[in-house]
Structure 1
Amino acid sequence: MKNIVRTLRTARGWSQQDLADKLDVSRQSVNAIETGKYDPSLPLAFALARLFGRSIEDLFDDGTSVAEAAE
């Protein structure tokens, strides 16, 4: 799943470890989310959205359109 987590994190001057500490996860988890190797759990996605002041949909793109998702 594509996301803008790295862009938002670096814009704030945070390291992966800084973000991991704020989310109470490992730095490896942050790296895996940023590189699309791991999709976060729903609670973690909500925590990311709250932390960055964005909606989950702003942060993550699963590549499907609204019409495709409704089918």
Structure 2
Amino acid sequence: MDIRRLFGANLRRLRDRAGLSQEAVAARMGVDRAHVSLMERGQQNVTLTTLWTVCEALGVHPVELFDETVGVDGP
């Protein structure tokens, strides 16, 4: 499994669950919307710092972004 796709799928799921747009998450993270889009599509390697910033923006624990039970196509 591609860890970037898994992370991206979970990022999108958690963002949707929070009722936030990519723009809103980007603003909370201090990045542009395109960066969030790249992460969600699995086209961006994420640093530990970015991982932590995503968690703070969404109010989740890091483990939730690596949940393999959901899969890359969503629940």
Asked if 1:22 corresponds to 2:28, the answer is: yes
Identity fraction in percent: 28
Uncovered stretches (5+) of structure 2, i.e. residues with no partner: 68-75
Normalising by structure 1, we get a TM-score of: 0.73
Give the alignment partner of residue 54 of structure 1, picking from 45, 53, 60: 60
Larger RCO of the pair (alpha carbons < 8 Å, separation 6+) = 2
Counterpart secondary structure, 2:27: helix
Q: Which structure is larger by alpha-carbon Rg, 1 or 2? A: 1
Uncovered stretches (5+) of structure 1, i.e. residues with no partner: 62-71
Normalising by structure 2, we get a TM-score of: 0.69
Deviates more, 1:49-58 or 1:20-29: 49-58
Counterpart secondary structure, 2:19: coil
Q: Report the CA distance between 1:16 and its aligned residue.
A: 0.5
Runs of 4 or more above 6 Å deviation: none
Paired residue total: 61
Give the alignment partner of residue 43 of structure 1, picking from 27, 44, 49: 49
